[in-house]
Structure formats: structure tokens, C-alpha cells
Amino acid sequence: MKKISLIHGPNLNLTGSREPGIYGAETLDAINAAVVQKCEQYGWQCVPFQSNSEGALIDRIHAAIGQCDGLILNAGAYTHYSYALRDAIAATRLPCIEVHLSNVHAREEFRHHSAIAPVCAGVIAGFGKNSYLLAVDALKGILE
């Protein structure tokens, strides 16, 4: 059975109540449930995790080595400047899909750059909860 680590970064615990016009009205729990269900349809296990701490995110990425087959990561604001997260992703040698609820390229200039994209298999942004579901499909194409 394939195992996917679903990792959410800072402020995503507030999804559903934080700027719903940008990030949507669905809670993180609802998003996690939808991703877990989609993974189960493929016979996969999905383990969600959220932290506002960069170190905890790095530890979770490291924990995927030898335990998971792929990563889905919404690194939040860390996307734009965390070379430590970039290095952690690269160290896993696992396919990682970078995900964003909003279209980061239609927003503030600082959000247009991703420090992690060069070590990810792909980037999906702007489709709300569906960004995560598309990431599951992307991993399916890579892993099977």
C-alpha cells in the first residue's frame, strides 16, 4: 500500500475562517478528509499533518524517508523563502507536489517566487481544495 504524507504549513490551521475570499470556506479538517478519501480510492494511506513551525515541518518531511511514497506540501509562506524546507524535500528523494489553495501568481509579488518548486515534481495552485485532489492524481501518475 502506498503511503502519502500530506503536510500543511503555517496558518493553514485557520483555513475556513482566515480570509475565506482567498483561501475558501472549507476547513482544514474537511480538506484533509477529502484527500484521505481520494487516497483511499487508490488503495493508499494518507497521513495529514499541520504545523506553524518550520522545524516541525522539516522533521515531518525527514520522517517520510523510508516510510512514505510521496509528499503533498502546502508550505504556506515558507514556500517563498525557506531553503531549509527546500533542502529537506530534496533529501527525501520522494516525489513532492507543491500545493496552494490560491493562485499565488495573481497575488502579491513576493508570492510569485517559490524556493521549494525546483525540488518538487510539480506545483498546483489556485483551485482551492481541488488543488490537493489534483495533487493526489499527479502522484498517482508518478507512482503507478
Which residues are part of the catalytic machinery? 23, 100
Cβ neighbour number for residue 43 with a 10 Å cutoff: 8
Sequence-distant (6+) residues with CB within 8 A of 97 are 70, 71, 72, 73, 120, 121, 122, 123, 124, 135, 138, 139
- Render the burial of 112-126: b for 16+ CB within 10 Å, e for the rest: eebbbeebbbbbbbe
Cβ neighbour number for residue 56 with a 10 Å cutoff: 14
